[in-house]
Amino acid sequence: MDGTIYLDHNATTAIRPAAASVVAEALAWTGNPSSVHRHGRLARRVVEDAREHVADLVGAEPSQVVMTSGGTEANRLAIGGFQGQAIVSAVEHLSVLGAAKEAKHLPVDNEGRVDVEALDALLATRRDGTPTLVSVMWANNETGVLQPLAEVVEVARRHGAFVHCDAAQAVGRVAVDFAALGVHMMTVSAHKLGGPAGVGALIVGDDAPLAMMAGGGQERGRRAGTENVAGIAGFGAAADVAKAELAAFDALVALRDGLEARIGTVTPAARIFGQGAPRLPNTTCVTMPGVDSETQVMAFDLAGIAVSAGAACSSGKVGPSHVLRAMGIEEDEARTAIRVSLGWTTTAADVARFVDEWAAMFARLGGQPPAATTAA
């Protein structure tokens, strides 16, 4: 779309050219990876090659990578395949909260970081020996806040609990080492790191008590159903590029900080959520005082700029964020927040245009004139 600016990379990022090329090539092939003839063996080789690339990106063994239809299925597989009780953070993605409806919720502080002491206390109250799964995301999709996973893992393992981590927003954006982290299961999504939508993976540790999914026995019995060969091929190619360009993604910090600084010159009343905590390099969750989130999203869209309000998982509905509410943000303020997420296609000119439009919109809808800003 010529002339438009895409700043919603946490919803989905642009597919990498290498991934798109591999997907197109794979779509021209015919073969079921479970078949034993030549066509099937070629398809199997594509899947296994991609599995190795994904494993290499996240610091796992290829045998630990279970291909799925995306992050939501991986989360449901991890939680639904666990026999026992669950504790999940209050700021988890809705696919986790929906899969763990009976779970206890772990509170977060006003920056959106989980309360590790509260986790310790919750696990200490277990008296019946029921297996427990703790699910804490690596990076929040709305604020970009990074969770203290090393502390979560230490506490959970000390109490004999298992840990699942939704790392869909983190993989390809920060360095990830599944083996060193010590979680038992971890979710990855291809379209968050430049691969095609409709494919992801659950990384399953050798000591993870995951029930097998009944069916045809694909994915070593962990996930039944014919593998999406073309999508998996694109996933592998994107994983390869993402690993090579981690440093380039980290460079987005300068663009993000410049964006936030310029908004601060427009109005000091604008609030950046999670700004005091470690965050992803690309994510800003910011309020426009007095202007509803939905109004902002529509106005930016009319101006040719794509941003979002909250997570892109509610069929286009815009409402108060459960993440911000869990952080103690009043509903009226939460309703003025939007998420701006940069990606591998974002330029300094994109950020400058966004801030200019933000300032003009605030003057028009918020009732205050824009302050002079400097180029990012």
* 227-256 confidence digits (pLDDT tens): 899 999 999 999 999 999 999 999 999 999
DSSP state of 49: H
Tell me which residues are annotated as active site. Answer: 313
**What is the C-alpha end-to-end distance of the chain, expressed in Å?**
24
Residue 311 pLDDT: 54
Whole-number Å distance between alpha carbons of 111 and 225: 40
Residue 374 pLDDT: 47
Q: Is 79 a member of any domain?
A: no
Q: Is 121 a member of any domain?
A: no
Question: Which residues are CB-neighbours of 180 under 8 A, at least 6 positions away?
Answer: 59
Q: Is 182 a member of any domain?
A: no
Query: pLDDT tens digits for 94-118?
Result: 999 998 888 999 999 999 999 999 9
Q: Is 299 a member of any domain?
A: yes
Q: Which domain holds residue 356?
A: 5-13+247-365
Whole-number Å distance between alpha carbons of 204 and 187: 9
Give Cα 215 to chain centroid, integer Å: 29
Block mean pLDDT (10 aa), the chain, length 376: 88 97 94 89 93 98 96 94 92 92 93 97 83 96 97 96 97 96 97 97 90 69 84 97 95 97 94 97 97 96 94 53 94 95 97 97 77 48
DSSP state of 174: B
Residue 220 pLDDT: 74
Q: Is 345 a member of any domain?
A: yes
CA distances from 96 to 102, 175, 341 (A): 11, 23, 22
The full 3-state SS of 83-111, as one line of letters, equals CCEEEEECCCCHHHHHHCCCCEEECECCC
Q: Is 361 a member of any domain?
A: yes
373: amino acid identity, one letter:
T
Number of domains in the chain: 1
Residue 270: which CATH number? 3.90.1150.10
DSSP state of 162: E
Q: Is 336 a member of any domain?
A: yes
Q: Is 74 a member of any domain?
A: no
Q: State the pTM of this model.
A: 0.92
Residue 224 pLDDT: 72
